[in-house]
Structure 1
C-alpha cells in the first residue's frame, strides 16, 4: 500500500503518532474513545500532484483526490458525491436581513452530506480486503454507507436507535443493509457498534472515531474555498452533532488558504439544538451537559459527541463561535428555506438558517456581513418533521366553488386566504 502524501496519524490529545497504513481508530493511551486521531499530510507532495484549476467546475469531490487519504492503487468507490451547488438566496437573504448563500449538500447521491465520508470508507475498506463494514447512525450515515456498500460489493451492518425516522431506515434496507434497531439512544447504538467492531473485526465507518472519514467531509471546505475564492464569506455555518463535519469543513478551507489558493478564510459558526448542546457547552466553558440528547433534528441528536476537540478547535482557530436554537426555530427555518428558495432540508440541514437568525439577534453576525449556510440533508429524510414545519394539505370539496371561496376577493376587496 502507498499513501506518500499522508505523513502520520496523530492523537489530538497527546500527539502520539501511528502508521496511517494500518487500521487504527483511536489512540490507546487514553481511556475509551477519547484519543481521537488526526490525519497529518505532506503538503509538498500534495501540491506536486494537485491540478490547481479553480474554475468552479467541480464534478465531484474526487477533483481533490490529491488531498484524500486513499492508496494510490485503490479503486475508488463513487456515486458522484460532492460538487454540490452554491446557490444565491435573495429571498432568504431578505427574510433574514443578511446576505446569504446556500451550499446544498442534500443533493448528494443518497441525499446527505455523509456521502463524502462514505465514499472514502468503502474505498478504504475494500482496498484493505474487508468484507463487512459497519457504523452507528441516527439514519443518514446508515443510508449513505449502505448505498456505497452496495456499490462496492461489501456487506453492510448498521446500528440505529430504535426511534430513528422510518424514512431513514427504509433507505438502507432498500440498499440491502442489515439494519439493527437498538432499543436505546444513539449513544448506546454507537457504543454497541464499537464493541462489535472490536469483537468481529468489521471495518468501522463511524466518522467520530475513524480518522479518515473527516477527511472526506473536508472536501466541502475545498469546494467552498473554490466557489467563493473571489469573495470569501465572513461566515460559514454548519449544524453540529458529533462535531466532525464542521471540523472537516474548516480543515479543508484552511488548507486552501495555507497553500495560497485563496486569500482569506471565513469564521465558522456551529449550530446546535438546545436539547443536544454538548459541543456548544464545551466551547463556552459551561457545565457538563446532560448526555441524553432530545431534539427534532435527529441527525444532530448526539449526547456525547466524540469529536468535540476537533469541533472546538475549528471554532477557535477560525475566530468563530456557536449558538443554540430551539426545535421550534429549527422547524420554522425548515419551512422558511423551502418557501423562500425552494430548498427542501431535513431539520438538521435547516438548523444553520435558524442559527443565522439567532446569531443576528445576539449581535454575533452583523447585517452587513456575508454568510454561507450548509444544508446537510434532504427533506424527504424526515417527512414527519416537514409536516410539523409546514402543516398539512387543505381539504376542499370537489367543485370550483370551493376554490372560488378560497381565492376570489371577498366583499371587502381582499382575498379570502
Structure 2
C-alpha cells in the first residue's frame, strides 16, 4: 500500500488517531457515530507530487489526485466527475443586486455533486477488494453510488426513505442497484445502513461517516480556488444537509491558500431549510435543536446531521455564517435561476440562491461583494418539486385564434385565418 501523503485518521472529538489503510468509519471511543474522523495529510509530500498547472483547465477532479486519499497504485473509478465550469450570471446578479457566479455541479455524470465523493469511495472499495457497496440516501447518493458501482463492477445495495422522490429511485435501478425503501425517515434508513454494514461487512459510502467521502468533496474547493485565483470571491454558498459538503469545500480552498497556490479564502455561507435547520441552529447556539426534517428539498432533509462539527468549524474558520429559508423561498429560487440563467436545479441545488437573497436582505452580503453559489443537483432529479413552483401547462386548441387569445393578435408575418387549424 502506498499512502505516503496520508498521515492518519484523527477523531474530531478526542484526537485519537487510526491507520488510514484500514476500513474504519468512526472513532470507537464514542457512542454511536459521534466520533467523526478527519483525514490528516503530509502536505510536503503532496506539494512534491502535485505538478499540475493551475491554468483553469480542469478536465476532472482527478487533476488533484495528489490530494486524494487513494493508494498511488489504485486505478481511479471515474466517469470524469468534477471540472465543472464557473459561469457568470448577469441576469441573476442584477435581480439579487450583487455579483453572482454559478458553479453548476448538477452537470456531474449522475447529475449531482455527490459524484465527487463517490468516485473516491468506489476507488477505495475496489482497491480494497470489496464486493458490495452500500449507503443510505434520499436519492442523489443512491444514484451516484449505483452508477459508480456499475462502472467498477461491484454490487450495490441502497437504503432510502419510502417517501424519496420516485425519479431519484429509478436512476439507481437503471444502474442495476438493489433499492430498499425503508418505512421511515432518512435518519432511520441511515441507521439501518450502519447496522447492515456491521452485520455484513459491506463497504459503506455514507458521506457523513466515511472519512474519505469529504475528501472527494473538497475537490470543489480546489477547483474554485484555481478558477478564482485572480479574483477570489467574498462568499461561497452551499446548501447544507449532513454538513460534509460545505466542510469539504472549505478544507480544499484552505489547503490551496496554505500552500500559497492562492492568496485568499472566501467566507462560507451555509443555507438550510427552516424545516431542517440543525446545523444552522447549532452554529447560532440555539437552545433547542429539532431533529425532525420537514422540507421539500429532500437532498438536505436531514434531521440529525453527522457532520455538524465540521460544518460549523468551516463556517467559523472562514468568518462565514448560516441562514435559513422557507420552502417557498426555495421554489422561488428554483424558477429564478431557471428563467434568468437557464440553469435547472433541484430544490436543494437552488437553495443557495434563496440563501443569497436572504443574506442580502439581512445585511450579511454587501452590495460590493462577490458571490459564488454552488448548485449541487440537476432539476430533473425532482420534477415534482419544480411543478409546485411553475404550475400546469397551458392547454390550447390547434388554432391561431387560441394563440391570439393568449398573446394577442399577430402584427404580421403570418396570415390570420380565423378558426383555422394549423
Deviation, 1:409, is: 5.5
SS at match of 1:47: helix
* Aligned residues of 2:52 and 2:63 also touching (Cα < 8 A): no
* Aligned residues of 1:278 and 1:288 also touching (Cα < 8 A): no
- Cα distance in 2 for partners of 1:54, 1:10 equals 30
- TM-superposition CA deviations, 1:300-336 (whole Å, max 9, x none): 0000000000000000000000000000000000000
- Cα distance in 1 for partners of 2:123, 2:153 equals 11
- Cα distance in 2 for partners of 1:54, 1:332 equals 37
* Aligned residues of 1:143 and 1:172 also touching (Cα < 8 A): yes
| Residue of structure 1 in register with 2:414 after alignment | none
| Residue of structure 1 in register with 2:83 after alignment | 83
* Aligned residues of 1:77 and 1:152 also touching (Cα < 8 A): yes
> Structure 2 regions of 5+ residues with no counterpart?
411-422
- Cα distance in 2 for partners of 1:392, 1:385 equals 13
- Cα distance in 2 for partners of 1:314, 1:245 equals 10
After superposition, residues 5-404 of structure 1 pair within 5 angstroms as 5-404=5-404
Q: Give the total of aligned pairs.
A: 411
Q: Bigger shift: 282-291 or 60-69?
A: 282-291
- Cα distance in 1 for partners of 2:123, 2:226 equals 25
TM-score (ref. length: structure 1): 0.98
- Cα distance in 1 for partners of 2:52, 2:84 equals 19
Deviation, 1:52, is: 4.0
- Cα distance in 2 for partners of 1:367, 1:323 equals 18
TM-score (ref. length: structure 2): 0.96
> Structure 1 regions of 5+ residues with no counterpart?
411-417
Deviation, 1:41, is: 0.3
- Cα distance in 2 for partners of 1:264, 1:3 equals 29
| Residue of structure 1 in register with 2:420 after alignment | none
Deviation, 1:287, is: 2.1
- Cα distance in 2 for partners of 1:52, 1:196 equals 41
- Cα distance in 1 for partners of 2:292, 2:328 equals 19
SS at match of 1:272: strand
* Aligned residues of 1:271 and 1:325 also touching (Cα < 8 A): yes
SS at match of 1:211: coil
RMSD, aligned α-carbons:
1.0
- TM-superposition CA deviations, 1:118-177 (whole Å, max 9, x none): 101110001001000000000000000000000000000000000000000000000000
Deviation, 1:43, is: 0.2
* Aligned residues of 1:77 and 1:119 also touching (Cα < 8 A): yes
Deviation, 1:390, is: 1.6
